[in-house]
């Protein structure tokens, strides 16, 4: 793009009366816009000047890095969260203990496609990583013939043909789904439940195509669970390229054998904690709006998008409200949840903890879909409550965060729904998320400081409006 | 983010009657949505499966690379464009000759902050590049004292204090502007017109802070122009970090000298061409909708976002219409413009060329704001025409491309406005664009294949709807 000053002047200053405004102008038609214009301006100017969310994310990812539940790094992250809240002057800063699983990857994870299936004479390494929660293989590893399936049903239906085999789940993301979370939702059952489905047909291990739209050689980990009363077998993710290699060998019709070696295991549960701090409401302090993300991550990459982004956006959102001198009528509370990735213990513990008499959660905003440019919010609420959000959205239009979607909030705030809280999820642009998710690609350099901050600003504003107007 | 199947199911399938739909559903309220649902589905499914825009972009950037007007690479890009259109079966494929400037960077571009201003004893290199159109320095370079200014006015007002100096324009992007194009628009006068403003006060050269939000060490080039009757002086861009270094030295109050050496120059104009191909309208072939981007780029990076993206999106848009078996009533024509970056000769030549009797341009869509996820379209039109676009936008909602903004179209389609064409610009997410723009950072790996394709799909659909319904 050339200077094109004319075009830019048009973009900035030309507005037809009564037509939608350019993205740097607040539309003047909504009562909420008039009411919250000053707050929006204060919050966004400070946020975009200081980019505080990104500074926090750099601290968390550079100083602590990956922080899987139960690890020393997760404990360090709890302490970091507490100290950050104190440094920002939040009120009632404390931790709330929760017992979490302690799965460790171990030193070895290897998979090889054995030479018999190959034109060359040497075994071929396949990029692989254990799925979280998997048992390890015997020390010598497992060598077995591979059978490919596309679904849990197909794995369960293998019967005798599954016996003694490594079952390879190779169903891809549906690329025609525009929102990549929908594509993830359509494939992740293989990762989560593939092991027990295959074990029910006598399989000895499973390999699962990575949950990603990318076509690269990074394996993507993630949670799996075993069903009761089915033998536990090792489960690992193959990179997209490794899955293609394996599928190609199988297409030739030859017998294909893979050697798999994992020394991951589950240790006894560990005490960890959620981290909590707030801005106490001036008029109705017992009505609480929770905003939060999860402090734990997988042990690949540094959890920059998942979910360092959600933690620092919600910390920054409360900080922006404070520093803008806003005193909301209701309480806005940041909760950094522990153990979202492999258990959800933090979300359940927070919701089930006894709170002071009269306190109730009216809404909960979760940010756990990456630190990309915000698009809007998903909201789970009754129709008449949902409509209230429609009135607030124009305030978020200048930030590109005004799309109101049906259904929102992730697994951390989900348990608050049963208590009557409206659950809400920040919905950022989704295209790049699963290129990084749960892999070594999820690093700080994939996060754009301004995109991240715009999400923090949107959360600050929406939580403030709820805190002012109520639900 | 954990599997959270419940949440995903909610996201995908839960819809309150009469409320906005999730992004994977077509809202059923707009007549345009019903009318174009089948076309949208055909186009988007094929587009997202095949990701044709990205394949073309990889070809253009890997095989040809940077393609500055007048260069052999620009000539190769013209031939590539023509062959691509023929291969895709476009109709009336041809080139339209246009004379373009031929500026060359040369071998040397260097700037050093001289040791006298530094605590250490050696000169410090400053990351620098010539601005497009600049004259070179004498062979030995220019060494002069530096004076910092924030604006053209300040440079013009230097008077005697400017004489013999290197004037350093250091006004940053305003970070509080949400749309980065607005921030660019508020700073780019320094790059475009700084040399003549400084020369009018007797300066011998200018250094301009790079036009970027990023804080890195890459200089960003771009067009500058000299005013008549003012001495021409060399003009170069400093990286953001180099600008900060220089500003810091100046703050100490010492005399600061810089040595600058550039051997760029302007050679005689060269014949080049726009590349044109179309899908002829079945009912009103004389009513033409142009879609296009520019084939030339700067000579830094490979012009992946600027404007490889716009070229391949519009090629792919027409290809998608063809392959979906759609036969629009009016003609949709792809124009790959030459010389947008440093002259705009292609845009002017296209508009001024004599066309067959009766043919008229009713609309022109330009993509020249990067290959990021689409947000919507900017439209320059009379209010009653603008309102028509409001009716089409719901069709683009599933692709996140439904935001309608006032004012659109860039410098290539701008000249068609005088002939009565509605000019339209694809508006993608803007936050990352100026991190890459006109620098070595503008490479293929910064483009996400699905984001790029969604823009192509949005252009295909909007051009199809205009071609069916007219303006």
Contact A277, A334 (CB under 8 A): yes
Alpha-carbon distance A337 to B450, whole Å?
32
Nearest to B284 by CA among B231, B216, B331, B350: B331
Helix (H, G, I), strand (E, B) or coil at B181: helix
For B193-249, the pLDDT digits (tens) are 999 999 999 999 999 999 999 999 999 999 999 999 999 999 999 999 999 999 999
Q: What does R_g of chain A's alpha carbons equal in angstroms? A: 24
Q: What is the pLDDT at residue A30?
A: 80
Whether residues A179 and B405 touch (CB distance < 8 A) is answered with: no
Helix (H, G, I), strand (E, B) or coil at B234: coil
The 3-class SS string of A41-65 reads HHHHHHHHHHCHHHHHHHHHHHHHC
Say whether A340 is catalytic.
Answer: yes
Q: What is the pLDDT at residue B120?
A: 66
User: Is pLDDT at A347 greater than 80 in this prediction?
Assistant: yes
Q: Find the closest chain B residue to A293 by CA distance.
A: B1
- Residues in chain B with CB shorter than 8 Å from the CB of A410 are 1-2, 4, 7
Cα B229 to Cα A438, B114, B232, B268, B269, distances in angstroms:
61, 32, 9, 21, 22
| Residue of A109, A340, A341, A397 marked active site | A340
Total-model pTM: 0.94
B319-336 per-residue burial string, b: 16 or more CB within 10 A, e: under 16: bbbbbbebebebbbbbbb
Helix (H, G, I), strand (E, B) or coil at A448: coil
Alpha-carbon distance B134 to B243, whole Å?
19
Alpha-carbon distance B3 to B14, whole Å?
18
- Residues in chain B with CB shorter than 8 Å from the CB of A398 are 178
Nearest to B274 by CA among B105, B416, B399: B416
Cis peptide before A307 (omega within 30 of 0): yes
Cα B441 to Cα A390, B298, B435, distances in angstroms:
40, 12, 7
Whether B49 has its CB under 8 Å from any CB of chain A: the answer is yes
- Alpha-helical regions (H) of A324-382: 345-352
ipTM of this complex > 0.90? yes
Alpha-carbon distance A136 to A146, whole Å?
18
Q: What is the pLDDT at residue A254?
A: 79
From the CB of residue B231, how many other CB atoms can be counted at a distance below 10 Å? 14
How much is the average pLDDT of A118-145?
Answer: 92
Please state whether B83 falls in left (phi above 0), alpha (psi between -120 and 50) or beta. Answer: alpha
Whether residues B2 and A414 touch (CB distance < 8 A) is answered with: no
Q: Quickly state the pLDDT bin for B17 (edges 50, 70, 90).
A: very low
Contact B395, B40 (CB under 8 A): yes
Residues 423-452 of B with CB under 8 A from A: 425, 429, 431-433, 435, 437, 448, 450-451
The 3-class SS string of A329-341 reads CEEEEEEEECCCC
Q: What is the pLDDT at residue B262?
A: 98
User: Is pLDDT at B430 greater than 90 in this prediction?
Assistant: yes
Helix (H, G, I), strand (E, B) or coil at A197: helix
User: Is pLDDT at B19 greater than 80 in this prediction?
Assistant: no
Domains of chain A: 29-103+268-469 (3.40.630.10), 106-263 (3.50.30.30)
Of B10, B223, B307, the CB nearest to A3: B223
Which helix (H) or strand (E) segment is A288 a member of?
strand A284-294
Of A22, A48, A451, the CB nearest to B406: A22
B241-259 per-residue burial string, b: 16 or more CB within 10 A, e: under 16: bbbbbbbebbeeeeebbbb
- Residues in chain B with CB shorter than 8 Å from the CB of A44 are 176, 178
Question: Which tokens go with A150?
Answer: 């596309």
Helix (H, G, I), strand (E, B) or coil at A142: strand
Contact A188, A212 (CB under 8 A): no
Q: What does R_g of chain B's alpha carbons equal in angstroms? A: 24
Which helix (H) or strand (E) segment is A249 a member of?
helix A240-251
Q: What is the DSSP string of B327-362?
A: --SEEEEEEEES-TTTT-HHHHHHHHS---TT-EEE
Residues 359-388 of A with CB under 8 A from B: 368-369, 373, 375, 378, 380, 383, 386
Rounded to a whole number of angstroms, the distance from the CA of A163 to the nearest CA of chain B is 28
User: Is pLDDT at A113 greater than 80 in this prediction?
Assistant: yes
Q: Is A429 exposed, middle or buried (0-12, 13-18, 19+ CB in 10 A)?
A: buried
Contact B91, B280 (CB under 8 A): yes
User: Which site among B11, B410, B456 would you substitute to test the A interface, given the most A Cβ atoms closer than 10 Å to its Cβ?
Assistant: B11
User: Is pLDDT at A12 greater than 70 in this prediction?
Assistant: no
For A236-276, the pLDDT digits (tens) are 999 999 999 999 999 987 789 999 999 999 999 999 999 99
Whether A194 has its CB under 8 Å from any CB of chain B: the answer is no
Helix (H, G, I), strand (E, B) or coil at A261: strand
Alpha-carbon distance A307 to A455, whole Å?
13
Whether residues A2 and B189 touch (CB distance < 8 A) is answered with: no
Helix (H, G, I), strand (E, B) or coil at B169: strand
Rounded to a whole number of angstroms, the distance from the CA of A142 to the nearest CA of chain B is 27
Contact A333, A290 (CB under 8 A): yes
Q: Find the closest chain B residue to A297 by CA distance.
A: B1
Q: What is the pLDDT at residue A118?
A: 65
Average pLDDT, chain A: 93
Q: Quickly state the pLDDT bin for B122 (edges 50, 70, 90).
A: confident
Which helix (H) or strand (E) segment is B396 a member of?
helix B383-396
For B326-362, the pLDDT digits (tens) are 999 999 999 999 999 999 999 999 999 999 999 999 9
Residue entry with tokens 């492999």: A342
Nearest to A425 by CA among B22, B273, B350: B22
For A362-420, the pLDDT digits (tens) are 999 999 999 999 999 999 999 999 999 999 999 999 999 999 999 999 999 999 999 99
Q: What is the pLDDT at residue B3?
A: 42
Phi, psi of A406 (to 5 degrees): -85, 125
Of B3, B6, B342, the CB nearest to A192: B3
Nearest to B177 by CA among A399, A13, A396: A399
Residue entry with tokens 């919507």: B376
Question: Which tokens go with B123?
Answer: 């000169």
């Amino acid at each position: 793009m050339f200077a094109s000053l004319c075009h830019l002047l048009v973009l900035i200053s030309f507005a037809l009366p009564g037509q939608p405004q350019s993205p740097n102008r607040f539309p003047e038609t909504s009562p909420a816009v008039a009411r919250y214009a000053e707050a929006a301006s204060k919050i966004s100017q400070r946020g975009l000047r200081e980019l505080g969310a990104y500074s926090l994310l750099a601290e968390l990812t550079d100083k602590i890095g990956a922080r899987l539940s139960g690890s020393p790094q997760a404990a360090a992250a709890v302490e970091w969260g507490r100290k950050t809240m104190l440094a920002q002057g939040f009120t009632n800063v404390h931790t709330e203990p929760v017992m979490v699983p302690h799965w460790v990857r171990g030193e070895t994870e290897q998979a090889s496609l054995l030479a018999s299936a190959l034109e060359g004479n040497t075994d071929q390494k396949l990029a692989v990583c254990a799925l979280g929660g998997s048992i390890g293989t015997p020390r010598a590893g497992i060598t077995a013939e591979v059978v490919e399936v596309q679904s849990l049903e197909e794995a369960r239906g293998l019967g005798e043909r599954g016996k003694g085999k490594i079952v390879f789940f190779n169903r891809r993301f549906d690329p025609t789904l525009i929102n990549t979370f929908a594509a993830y939702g359509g494939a992740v059952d293989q990762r989560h439940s593939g092991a027990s489905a295959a074990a029910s047909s006598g399989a000895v291990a499973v390999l699962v195509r990575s949950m990603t739209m990318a076509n690269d050689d990074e394996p993507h980990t993630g949670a799996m669970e075993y069903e009761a009363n089915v033998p536990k077998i090792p489960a690992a993710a193959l990179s997209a390229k490794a899955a293609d290699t394996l599928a190609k060998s199988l297409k030739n019709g030859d017998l294909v054998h893979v050697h798999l070696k994992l020394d991951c295991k589950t240790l006894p549960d560990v005490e960890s904690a959620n981290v909590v701090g707030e801005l106490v409401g001036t008029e109705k302090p017992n009505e609480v709006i929770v905003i939060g993300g999860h402090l734990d991550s997988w042990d690949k990459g540094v959890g920059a998008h998942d979910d360092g982004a959600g933690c620092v956006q919600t910390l920054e959102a409360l900080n922006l409200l404070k520093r803008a001198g806003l005193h909301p009528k209701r309480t806005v509370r940041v909760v950094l949840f522990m153990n979202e990735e492999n258990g959800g213990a933090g979300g359940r513990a927070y919701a089930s903890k006894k709170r002071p008499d009269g306190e109730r959660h009216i809404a909960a905003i979760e940010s756990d879909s990456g630190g990309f440019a915000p698009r809007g919010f998903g909201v789970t609420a009754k129709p008449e409550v949902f409509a209230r959000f429609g009135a607030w959205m124009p305030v978020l239009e200048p930030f590109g965060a005004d799309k109101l979607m049906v259904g929102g909030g992730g697994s951390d705030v989900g348990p608050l729904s049963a208590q009557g809280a409206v659950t809400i999820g920040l919905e950022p642009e989704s295209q790049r998320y699963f290129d990084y998710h749960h892999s070594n690609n999820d690093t700080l350099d994939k996060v754009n400081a301004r995109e991240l901050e715009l999400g923090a600003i949107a959360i600050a504003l929406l939580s403030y409006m709820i805190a002012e107007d109520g639900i």
